[in-house]
Each structure stands twice: as C-alpha cells, then as structure tokens.
Structure 1
Amino acid sequence: MTKPGTMFEVIGGFDSIDKLVTAFYKRVGNHPKLIPIFPDDLTETARKQRMFLTQFFGGPRLYSEERGHPMLRKRHLPFEITAERKDAWLECMNAALEEAEIEEPYKTAIFEKLTMTAHHMMNTP
C-alpha cells in the first residue's frame, strides 16, 4: 500500500525508481573505484536496490517482505566502504538522478537522504 504524498508517489512510483536504478548501475558497473566491491553481474543487486528504494521512499514494503529488515550497515560490512568509495557512489547516484529526470525539490531531498545513508555505510578508513 502506498501512502499519498510519499516521495515514492510524487516522483512517479515504480517507473521512476526503475529509471533511477538503471541509470545508477550503468555508472556503478563502469566506475573504477566501485567495480571491486560490486559483482560482475549487477542484475540481482539492481533488483534489490529497486525494492529497497521503493520502500525507502514510502512505497510498498517490498524489501522487508522479501528480505526482512534492511539492516543496511550490517549487510554492507563485508565490503570495504571508504570515504572515496562513498563519494564515488554518491557521484553515480547524483548523475543517475539527473538522467532519470527526478525533478526538484525531490531530487535534492532524495540526494540529501541518500548522502546521510552513504555516510552511515562507511566502514573502512
């Protein structure tokens, strides 16, 4: 169930999430700083990201229904996430938000929320 007025709804729902994730992983798969911590085949990673962002932005709780509580930090601990990789991840996401044509003020709000999350994921000096 989607609540009216959620970020998920105002940016265009599943279609916009799909465009964003597709644009994002196109960049991640080619970014020299990110390639070492991502699988060669990003299909499953992108599928999980679509479910997560749908839920994170107030849409249906697809991620929790399939995978349980997101526990983002714990799930990311096996990967060396440095400040440099966090910045590379955010660079890819910022470009993906542009390509997916997420409009203001939503684009800035999303980027700010994901920036806080990215800072929280850092686990390696």
Structure 2
Amino acid sequence: MSFYDEIGGHDTFVRLVNAFYRGVAGDEVLRPMYPEEDLEPAAERLTLFLEQYWGGPTTYSERRGHPRLRMRHVPFHVNSDARDRWLRHMRAAVDELRLPPLHEATLWDYLQRAAFAMVNTFEPSAGPGSIGPARP
C-alpha cells in the first residue's frame, strides 16, 4: 500500500491543497506568484504533483512531463521569506488533515525539504507582486 493510499488518497490531497491555497490567497508575497484569476489551476497542478510523488496516479507526468521543480521555479524570486510563508500556509494545511503522527511527520519532512530546495535567491523581495508566477 502506498503512502498515498495510507493517508486517504485523492480526497486527502485535495483537502491539503485547498487548505494551503486558502492561506496563499491572502498572502501579499505568495499570491502574485500565481497569475491566474483564481488559484484553481495551481491547486490542480499541486494536487496532481503530490498525488504522483506519494504513489498515486501519474496524471501529473502524463499532462506536464517530468516535475523538474527547481527548473520550474528558477524564473521566480523565491527567497527565504517566500519559503517561510509557503511553509506557514502548508503547516496549517497539514495540521487540518489530523494525520497519524508518523504520516504527518513523513509528509511534513518532505514538504520542508522541498521548500528549502526551491530557494533560488537570498535577495529580498522588491515588494508584493515582484515575484512572478510559480508552477510546480
């Protein structure tokens, strides 16, 4: 049984991503990273990516190819502030899931490592809206 199945499959990842983007929607630094009128396309991409990473359907790769997370984030100003904000919203989302401790720790460990790996500058942001769109 995959981690994806162990934590509840598609429904759990949808809940995680929806809770995360509720936080992003009001964040003055992160929200400008998503150019769509609403966050639904970004939420779908993140859901598909996480599902595939954790042993679920391979829809992400079928639609978008290899994830190449670093490459997809390089054009954008991802500094420690953006990382920390991303982690704050993701932490709240993970907490909403109320996973068993081992599953929660496993998921959170990956999310932290991924967030730190996406940092591509130590320059401060020029201000809200200066970061550009990010897509997993």
In the superposition, the TM-score normalised over structure 1's length comes to 0.91
Which residue of the other structure, out of 116, 121, 127, is the alignment partner of 1:119?
A: 116
Looking at structure 1, the residues matched to 100 and 84 of structure 2 have their Cα atoms a distance apart, in angstroms, of: 22
Name the residue aligned to 1:50.
Answer: 47
Instruction: Confirm whether residue 27 of structure 1 aligns to residue 13 of structure 2.
Output: no
**Unmatched segments (≥5 aa) in structure 1:** none
Q: Which has the higher contact order (CA 8 A, sep 6+)?
A: 2
Runs of 4+ in 1 over 3 A off after TM superposition: none
The correspondence of residues 66-77 of structure 1 with structure 2, limited to 5 A, is 66-77=63-74
Name the residue aligned to 1:109.
Answer: 106
CA contact (8 A) 1:23 1:100 kept: no
Per-residue CA distance 1:34-53 (angstroms, 9 max, x = gap): 12322342110000011001
In the superposition, the TM-score normalised over structure 2's length comes to 0.84
Name the residue aligned to 2:59.
Answer: 62
Looking at structure 2, the residues matched to 38 and 108 of structure 1 have their Cα atoms a distance apart, in angstroms, of: 28
How many pairs align?
Answer: 121
Q: Percent identity?
A: 39
CA contact (8 A) 1:37 1:80 kept: no
Looking at structure 1, the residues matched to 25 and 52 of structure 2 have their Cα atoms a distance apart, in angstroms, of: 24
Looking at structure 2, the residues matched to 66 and 26 of structure 1 have their Cα atoms a distance apart, in angstroms, of: 25
